[in-house]
Structure 1
Amino acid sequence: MISGDHESMDPDPPFETAYEELFATYDDATSGSPAAAVVEEQELPVIDLSPLMSREGDLRSSAACKKQITEASKKWGLFQVINHGIPDEILGEMREEQIKLMRKPFTVKNNDWGPPSPERIYRWGTPGAKRLDQVSWMEAFHLQLGDHNHIFRNNYTLWSTVEKFAGGAHALALKLAAVLAEELGHPAAGGRYFEEQCGRSSCYLRLNRYPPCPKYGACGVCGIVPHTDSDFLTVLHQDDIGGLQLVNGGDRKWAAVKPVRGALIINVGDLFQAWSNDVYRSVEHRVVTDVEKERFSTAYFLCPSSDTVIPSTVYHSFTFGDFRKQVENDVATYGTKIGLPMFLPNSSSIT
């Protein structure tokens, strides 16, 4: 096979070519790897949701489960759940279909699903990165549910699997959101606030792949750069490779999240932090690269419609559309997301 044929079949995006100037700056770097900064492998709370999922669960067990959820959301902003209601068969099917999709040649993925537009389906790297530590060594299919089923109309198995996974993740996210609202004594507690504001059509599913990074991990290149999620809640299914890390405490030290087979990771997002007036924590997290192994994850983002107002006494009230626009402006101006601090009363001090 000639070189050109090999390149045309390569599933990996052309990271080195796209960021050649940035990589040249760090060519001789021997330190600064995110992995080197890890303090420890952290066993986050693993919460058994059986009492919430069973109609026969007793009140005491249910109350204890809810307390675990709220305490983990306050302390960590990220926790793992088992007996979550999504069958292992669906998780396995989703991963199989995701791998098959990601194995397609980069040229096919980019040409068929990656037109340069704000709502492009296929994305890779970090457009507009100004420094090497702003580059994400990843590719992803970013799907707004309800809008893109026609994109995969020739692959019914893939789309039906996406629908099954998304349906289970959506139900789980709504249940957890209701628990968190109840703890706050929020007017939305016990009502249909999240069901009404966060319909399936406003939520997103992201299929992630992190290719091996044998050369540039020591330069500080992440699979995905440090960030917080911009939604209410994220439901994440990751593989056994590991690589997910979060900020552990106020000292800005990073800790690795130990994978638990069959568990899902729940991540509190920016909207819930603002909505709860900072009671719940939208934790900063990242994914580090692996020298030899690729990594897969599937994330479901519980999002409201763009015109939904997020009330807060800590931040200026804003709509989800306002927030997304501000994030886009942050990235264009600073090369990275700033997020909630831009909505603080003294946000004008940020330059």
Structure 2
Amino acid sequence: MPAFAEIAVDPPLADSYRALLRSEGGGIAPAAPSEISSAVLERVDLPTIDLGRLTSGGARERKACADAMARAASEWGFFQLTNHGVSRELLEEMRREQARLVRLPFETKEKAGLLNGSYRWGNPTATSLRHLSWSEAFHVPLASISEEGCDFGELNSLRGVMQEVAEAMSRVANTVAATLAEKLTGHGDGAPAWFPAGCDETTCFLRLNRYPACPFAADTFGLVPHTDSDFLTVLCQDHVGGLHLMKDSRWVAVRPRPDALIVNIGDLFQAWSNNRYKSVEHKVVANAKTDRLSAAYFLCPSYDSLVGTCGEPSPYRAFTFGEYRRKVQEDVKTTGKKIGLPNFLKHPLVQ
């Protein structure tokens, strides 16, 4: 391992690593090796859904596509889409613009209010290497992309590309969400008009992620294990890989497929579906040799929207997205980790 003085990472993630390493007495906390593992895991292909069968196929093809999607959402919580309607040219343009954005000097990204001040890096609340994410991101509210006050600096073409990507991913997200909801409600003419409740172009987010090459990859998360606090996420990733998810109580590595979009179920959809669909824990592992880029669209409702249910009885009490977010933030601050849906069970689990 190189000496700290020889390491220059933009953003200065090595400084966070060094501080946490010292606070842990010069070594990794005892639980970390099993959580942050460089061991070779089983590499899996996610269930693949041809979305073209849903949007342009006959009735039999549409049903088969919807059934496969619901099965993957129940058994995996993740699946990948082909023929999704988002052009390869647009995704490649987004990747080029994203690479230009993350290559800006750290001081520019951190202090200039770029993209509505949405820049974040590392994890300022981390008290252990188990809580440190070796990554940076712009987590941009869609509503701000088109606002005149949103600063894009010298990246004049970025705004238009982000708008196009957000609109394209929004179509995918809403198609998938409506299809999955219809499978549970039994509505033959599509999902109820109110689903997902309170989600529109003013409430969702586009997140541009970069995972820098990490000299401590064996001991470091690119993104700590978590579930997503939304209805669902649509992810475009590059060829590098690094996404791991929990399947049958063990971690598996997802084989990257750059031409496909990945969809994963979020906590709100699990609650709405009465646990029929699964919000699955996942993480990103750090890479020692190369950067990884990804872009994610988060289908989120307004903060005052009730999450609701596909039918009673529901195991969860009524709650709004705002309540959920506040409780997640409170738990992370006080315990160092997200607890999530168990907080909202009508009959809490006995510890």
TM-score normalised by length of structure 1: 0.89
Q: Which one of the candidate residues 8, 12, 15 is aligned to 2:13?
A: 15
Q: Distance in 1 between matches of 2:346 and 2:205?
A: 30
Query: Closer, same or farther in 2 for the Cα pair 1:189/1:317, shift >3 Å?
Result: farther
Q: Residue 81 of structure 2: SS of its match in structure 1?
A: strand
Deviation at 1:40, TM superposition (A): 0.2
Deviation at 1:332, TM superposition (A): 0.5
Kindly report which structure 2 residues correspond to 1:56-71, keeping only aligned pairs within 5 A, or say none: 57-71=57-71
Deviation at 1:131, TM superposition (A): 1.2
Pairwise CA RMSD of aligned residues? 2.4
Q: Residue 86 of structure 2: SS of its match in structure 1?
A: coil
What's the CA shift string for 1:246-283, capped at 9, x where partnerless? 0011xx31000011131000010000000000000001
Aligned residue number for residue 234 of structure 2: 235
Q: Which one of the candidate residues 50, 56, 59 is aligned to 1:48?
A: 50
Partners of 1:223 and 1:286 within 8 A in 2: yes
Q: Distance in 1 between matches of 2:35 and 2:53?
A: 42
The share of aligned pairs that are identical, in percent, is 44
Aligned residue number for residue 161 of structure 2: 161
Q: Which one of the candidate residues 297, 307, 313 is aligned to 2:294?
A: 297
Tell which deviates more after alignment, 79-88 or 35-44.
Answer: 35-44
Q: Distance in 1 between matches of 2:232 and 2:165?
A: 16
Query: Closer, same or farther in 2 for the Cα pair 1:340/1:259, shift >3 Å?
Result: same
Deviation at 1:64, TM superposition (A): 0.6
TM-score normalised by length of structure 2: 0.89
Deviation at 1:113, TM superposition (A): 2.9
- 1:332 and 2:329 equivalent? no
Deviation at 1:153, TM superposition (A): 4.9
Deviation at 1:27, TM superposition (A): 4.3
Partners of 2:315 and 2:347 within 8 A in 1: no
Q: Residue 261 of structure 1: SS of its match in structure 2?
A: coil
Partners of 1:79 and 1:266 within 8 A in 2: yes
Aligned residue number for residue 76 of structure 1: 76
Tell which deviates more after alignment, 138-147 or 19-28.
Answer: 19-28
Query: Closer, same or farther in 2 for the Cα pair 1:169/1:121, shift >3 Å?
Result: same
Deviation at 1:11, TM superposition (A): 6.8
Aligned residue number for residue 143 of structure 1: 140
Deviation at 1:61, TM superposition (A): 0.8
Q: Distance in 2 between matches of 1:323 and 1:101?
A: 31
What's the CA shift string for 1:82-118, capped at 9, x where partnerless? 0001011110111110010000111111111379xxx
Q: Which one of the candidate residues 253, 260, 264 is aligned to 2:261?
A: 264
Tell which deviates more after alignment, 104-113 or 180-189.
Answer: 180-189
Kindly report which structure 2 residues correspond to 1:82-161, keeping only aligned pairs within 5 A, or say none: 82-113=82-113, 120-149=117-146, 150-154=149-153, 155-161=155-161
What's the CA shift string for 1:57-102, capped at 9, x where partnerless? 2111111111110000000000101000101111011111001000
What's the CA shift string for 1:145-190, capped at 9, x where partnerless? 1124432355331010000000010011101111111110167953
Q: Distance in 2 between matches of 1:160 and 1:120?
A: 18
Deviation at 1:245, TM superposition (A): 0.3
Counterpart amino acid of residue 39 in structure 1:
L
Counterpart amino acid of residue 244 in structure 1:
L
Q: Distance in 2 between matches of 1:11 and 1:217?
A: 13
Aligned residue number for residue 225 of structure 1: 224
Deviation at 1:343, TM superposition (A): 1.0
Q: Which one of the candidate residues 271, 274, 283 is aligned to 2:271?
A: 274
Partners of 2:177 and 2:196 within 8 A in 1: no
